[in-house]
Amino acid sequence: MNNIRKHFPVCKNYHYFQSAGLSPLPDFIFQKYVSNYESLLNEGDFRWKEDIEQLKNTYQQIAKHLNTEAENIVFVENNSLAMSLIGLSLLRKHEKFNIVSLEEEFPSNSVPFEYLNIEMRYVPHQQHRYSIESILQHCDQNTKAVVVSYVQYSTGFRLNIEQLGYELKKRNILFVVNATQAFPLFPIDMQKYHIDVLTCSLHKWGFCGHIGTLFITTPDFRKQYPTPIAGWFSVDTSYHNDFIYTSKNKPFALRTSAQQYQFGSYNIKNRIVISDVLNFLTGIGTENIIQHIEKMTTILIQRLQDSGINLISPVNNFFERSAIVSFTIGENKNTELINFLKHKNVIVALRNNFIRASVNIFTNEQDIIALCNGIESFLQQHT
């Protein structure tokens, strides 16, 4: 993994534990952006069709990673929009229903539905864990969907989505998974886990900045719940000789693929870079990535426990761990510690009043030593 580090200039500046906020760009992705924008500079629209082809290939690549089909994949602006689309679709079809979700979810999983006046039922956490039984207990005959994050943003708790998907399928309840804090580090099998809708805001672990959210729906979902809003690009133009739909006041059909959610123009030059990221990660290998993340979190957890720090993340079960480790030294001292660490070039974040440290493929033991030494010297100065 040492070779990986040289691709991340951020490592020269900081001990960076804030990838759950945004993973820094590797140098080759930065170069890709530069060459993509040079093309806009020097050639304008000339390569647009090539870019469209590249995006189609990118969808295929993503599809392989998630065991789904390219036609199910689209990008939308952000996770909040993706969830709003789901909420609107459900409202068009059903009158009285509820959605079950988890108490500590990131608000993009709750605000869009609450704003639409959909009844939300939040499962309370038990030491920041959620058992499958407790989630199922909150479902009743009016539950149309369960909306959960694969990995919780503030605690790193990783849910058993395979088991939950299996149970929801039996009950005919839609399974909506926000994979923002997991993909592409942790593999996901959409078919095996019976996921109806998967979202993922790629700026977290996608190493490519703010390029939007993956919004992946099954053909069944789209059939039952077609997009609640549309734009010119949503229209099926396969029977026309122009890709732009120009008729007025005539009936039209929507594309059956997830491209119905594409609505209109978008920043294609940004979106195609995820292809290079996936090639890079595939080159490292999923097993190696997971092993490295586990190794780094294990060292960090051990050091924090040795120092008597109060861990928030549930860490006893390996399968519930992710790249995020959260802890607290007391609500009124956490912010002070974060600022203290910043002066030592150690970057962590405050989330839900906890200190969140996330390790990444470029994290090494020296980073962890810097973080833990920083915490210890803060504690020595403040006791």
Ligand X SMILES: Cc1ncc(COP(=O)(O)O)c(C=O)c1O
Q: What is the number of alpha carbons within 13 Å of residue 358 lying toward its C-beta?
A: 27
SS3 3: helix
Closer residue to ligand X in complex, CB, 322/364: 322
* Segments in 126-224 forming alpha helices (H): 132-137, 161-171, 219-224
Which residues fall within 8 angstroms of residue 188, CB to CB, at 6 or more apart? 65, 66, 67, 150, 161, 177, 179, 182, 195, 198
Residue with tokens 């943003």: 153
Closer residue to ligand X in complex, CB, 235/347: 347
Q: Which of 79, 259, 260, 363 binds ligand X (CB under 6 A)?
A: 79
Q: What is the number of alpha carbons within 13 Å of residue 134 lying toward its C-beta?
A: 14
Output the smallest distance, CB 195 to ligand X, in A.
Answer: 15
Sign of CA dihedral 134, 136, 137, 143: positive
Query: What residues does 143 pair with on adjacent strands?
Result: 98
Q: Which of 108, 260, 322, 360 binds ligand X (CB under 6 A)?
A: 108
Q: Which of 149, 155, 275, 358 binds ligand X (CB under 6 A)?
A: 149
Pair 262, 233: CB distance under 8 Å: yes
Quick one: residue 172, left, alpha or beta (phi over 0 = left, psi -120 to 50 = alpha)? Answer: left
Closer residue to ligand X in complex, CB, 202/337: 202
Pairing of β 310-311 and β 213-217: unpaired
Q: Which of 106, 157, 207, 261 binds ligand X (CB under 6 A)?
A: 106
| Contact flag: residue 80 with ligand X (CB under 6 A) | yes
Q: State the Cα–Cα distance between residues 14 and 231, nearest whole angstrom.
A: 43
* Segments in 206-267 forming alpha helices (H): 219-224
| Contact flag: residue 110 with ligand X (CB under 6 A) | no
- Cis status, amide bond into 219, omega within 30 of 0: no
Output the smallest distance, CB 351 to ligand X, in A.
Answer: 8
Output the smallest distance, CB 161 to ligand X, in A.
Answer: 13
| Contact flag: residue 326 with ligand X (CB under 6 A) | no
Q: Which of 89, 101, 180, 363 binds ligand X (CB under 6 A)?
A: 180
Identify residues 193-222 at the interface with ligand X (CB under 6 A): 201, 213
- The span of 58-66, 77-85, 267-275, 306-314 binding ligand X (CB under 6 A) equals 77-85
Output the smallest distance, CB 35 to ligand X, in A.
Answer: 27
| Contact flag: residue 23 with ligand X (CB under 6 A) | no
One symbol per residue from 30 to 69: x for binding ligand X (CB under 6 A), - otherwise; what is it?
----------------------------------------
Q: State the Cα–Cα distance between residues 279 and 274, nearest whole angstrom.
A: 9
- The span of 4-12, 26-34, 175-183, 221-229 binding ligand X (CB under 6 A) equals 175-183
- The span of 48-56, 72-80, 87-95, 231-239 binding ligand X (CB under 6 A) equals 72-80
Q: Which of 72, 181, 275, 363 binds ligand X (CB under 6 A)?
A: 181
Output the smallest distance, CB 311 to ligand X, in A.
Answer: 20
Q: State the Cα–Cα distance between residues 189 and 290, nearest whole angstrom.
A: 16
Binding site for ligand X (CB under 6 A): 78-80, 106, 108, 149, 153, 178, 180-181, 201, 213
